[in-house]
């Protein structure tokens, strides 16, 4: 009986430590052509080393809030729009991932390969640009 209590306490402490190390970041999706936020956009967030991506939907301000550890590496992509960023290769390579700690400390803005809009990094935000998919691109999905 005593050993099971110790195990429960140890597991509780471990879970608390994992939750305590989690941080909140925002992923902001902007229209590559005009810089406006993209509301209700489905996002896939892949953490380096995890098999499955996490899915989110941006709010009316184009923001999705995610919990993440500072040591995690993030790969973000839009689902319904076309993500406008330069990739090293496909599928995503380690160099395509962003360190969460960089987002937390300074903010990160990915390159806009579909338009001229730019955005300065904002602490705590990962900013990505996207463009509307054409009819042909949507049919290929």
Cα–Cα distance measured from residue 26 to residue 67, given in angstroms and rounded to the nearest whole number: 9
pLDDT at 29: 97
* Residue ranges of domains in the chain: 23-140
Question: pTM of the entire structure?
Answer: 0.79
**Residue 83: closest CA among 43, 23, 123:** 43
Second CATH level (architecture) for the domain 23-140: Sandwich (2.60)
How open is the CA angle 96-94-15, to the nearest 5 degrees?
Answer: 105
Token output for 77: 């992509």
The span from the CA of 113 to the CA of 129, in Å, is 8
Classify burial at 49, counting beta carbons within 10 Å of its beta carbon; exposed 0-12, middle 13-18, buried 19 or more.
Answer: exposed
What is the residue-level pLDDT of the chain in tens, covering all 141 positions? 566 666 556 555 555 555 457 899 999 999 999 999 999 999 999 999 899 999 999 999 999 999 999 999 999 999 889 999 876 555 556 678 999 999 999 999 999 999 999 999 999 999 999 999 888 877 777
Element (H, E) at 103: helix 100-105
State the pLDDT at residue 76: 92
Contact 36, 60 (CB under 8 A): no
Q: Is 128 exposed, middle or buried (0-12, 13-18, 19+ CB in 10 A)?
A: buried
């Amino acid at each position: 009986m005593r050993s099971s209590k110790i195990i429960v306490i140890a597991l509780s402490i471990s879970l608390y430590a994992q939750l305590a190390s989690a941080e909140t970041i925002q992923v902001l999706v902007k229209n590559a052509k005009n810089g406006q936020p993209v509301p209700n956009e489905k996002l896939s967030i892949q953490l380096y080393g995890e098999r499955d991506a996490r899915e989110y939907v941006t709010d009316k301000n184009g923001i999705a809030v995610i919990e993440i550890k500072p040591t995690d590496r993030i790969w973000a992509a839009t689902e319904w729009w076309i993500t406008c960023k330069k990739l090293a290769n496909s599928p995503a390579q380690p160099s395509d991932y962003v360190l969460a700690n960089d987002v937390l400390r300074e903010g990160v803005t990915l390159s806009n390969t579909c338009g001229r809009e730019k955005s300065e990094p904002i602490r705590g935000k990962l900013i990505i640009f996207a463009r509307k998919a054409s009819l042909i691109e949507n049919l290929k999905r």
